[in-house]
Amino acid sequence: MITVFGSINMDLVARVLAIAKPGETVLSRRADSFFGGKGANQAVAAARVSGGRIAVAMAGAIGDDAFGKACRDNLAANGVDVDGIRIADEPTGCAFITVDERGENAITVASGANMAVHTAQVPGEILAKTSILVLQMEVPLAENIAVARWAKQMSARVIWNAAPVPAGAEKGAVADMLAVTDLLVVNEHEAITVAAMIGDNAGGDYLVAASRLAHTYSLTCIVTAGAKGAFAVDADGTQIHAAAPPVTPVDTTGAGDTFVGVLAYGLAEGRELQDAMQRACIAASLSCLTAGAQAGMPSRDRLEATLSA
């Protein structure tokens, strides 16, 4: 089983010519709502490529409101086990997203119920069945660390997507997080920022940052680098690269989440890291061709068809 512990949001999205700078107002024709939240996105990405072969469970929190019900129903409709989702006193998380002409985005997340997620939502009987635990950074860090520690004691592999990097996180907490991580997934900026948080500026080079994080914490650091694909660096310095197929993106929102979910599934079904990364890169590219975080995430059949083409 793959267990995703993390955030669930409703995304409110406006397309703009250019993303507003501080103090500026820009107009958009309309706003659209899409299902989102890094945790929910990663669970859906894994469940779509699983097609029921390996169970995917989500633990998170929603509000007692229409957004929350819709988000939970959407997860269930995608084949995700939603028993670990609880209803909190806060409203469902909401992400305010602007997407520009090139498909790049800017996101503000109003966390709401996501801050009420706690470790007890992943009971021992679920962890006992979990081979891969997937975490991100949109729920409280202390809860993430606690569930990761428990998962490792139960012999699960921990994939930690350090996004978004929390401004002001304490060095000790970041070190605690890295100590319980098997695979750290970051983008180029996050690699440099996480390394800086533990006191290593890595000369501003994301591969140097990845390699230092991997060596110091005995983990594998995977850097997603957009059109350049993804790079993995092991504790012993071994590097792997997976190429991304060229696409003209409509919306890059959720591409990183697609990568993480498909990577988790690939590893859960026993693939080698290079193979799992390659499939994750292709799935992430496909996800950029449709507006919304989850709409473009490929099914198993679509991914296989793209791979054979």
- Catalogue the active-site residues: 257
Q: What's the min distance (Å) between Cβ of 235 and ligand RIB?
A: 27
Report whether 195 contacts 189 (CB < 8 A).
no
Q: Give, as ranges, the residues between 142 and 161 that touch ligand RIB (CB under 6 A).
A: none
What is the pattern of x (binds ligand RIB, CB under 6 A) and - over residues 230-269?
A: -----------------------xx-xx------------
Return the number of the residue (9 or 131) whose C-beta is nearest ligand RIB: 9
Task: Give how many residues touch ligand RIB by CB under 6 A.
Answer: 16
Q: What is the dihedral of CA 288, 80, 303, 250, to 10 degrees?
A: -10
Q: Give, as ranges, the residues between 151 and 210 that touch ligand RIB (CB under 6 A).
A: none
- Selected binder of ligand RIB within 2, 5, 9, 45 (CB under 6 A): 9
Q: Does 293 bind ligand RIB (CB under 6 A)?
A: yes
Q: What's the min distance (Å) between Cβ of 95 and ligand RIB?
A: 3
Report whether 79 contacts 57 (CB < 8 A).
no
Pairing assessment for the beta strands 239-242 and 31-36 based on DSSP bridges? unpaired
Return the number of the residue (7 or 119) whose C-beta is nearest ligand RIB: 7
Report whether 181 contacts 174 (CB < 8 A).
no
Residue 267 DSSP one-character state: H
Return the number of the residue (202 or 230) whose C-beta is nearest ligand RIB: 230
Return the number of the residue (227 or 307) whose C-beta is nearest ligand RIB: 227
Q: Give, as ranges, the residues between 31 and 60 that touch ligand RIB (CB under 6 A).
A: 36-38, 41
Residue 269 DSSP one-character state: T
Q: Does 138 bind ligand RIB (CB under 6 A)?
A: yes
Residues 6+ apart with CB under 8 A from 19: 26, 98, 100, 104, 105, 106
Q: Does 132 bind ligand RIB (CB under 6 A)?
A: no
Return the number of the residue (32 or 205) whose C-beta is nearest ligand RIB: 32
Report whether 94 contacts 109 (CB < 8 A).
yes
What is the pattern of x (binds ligand RIB, CB under 6 A) and - over residues 79-118?
A: ----------------x-----------x-x---------
Positions of E strands within the chain:
2-5, 9-15, 31-36, 56-63, 80-88, 93-99, 105-110, 132-135, 157-161, 183-187, 220-224, 230-233, 239-242
Of 276, 282, 272, the residue nearest 263 (C-alpha): 276
Q: Using CB under 6 A, list all residues that contact ligand RIB.
A: 7, 9, 11, 36-38, 41, 95, 107, 109, 138, 253-254, 256-257, 293
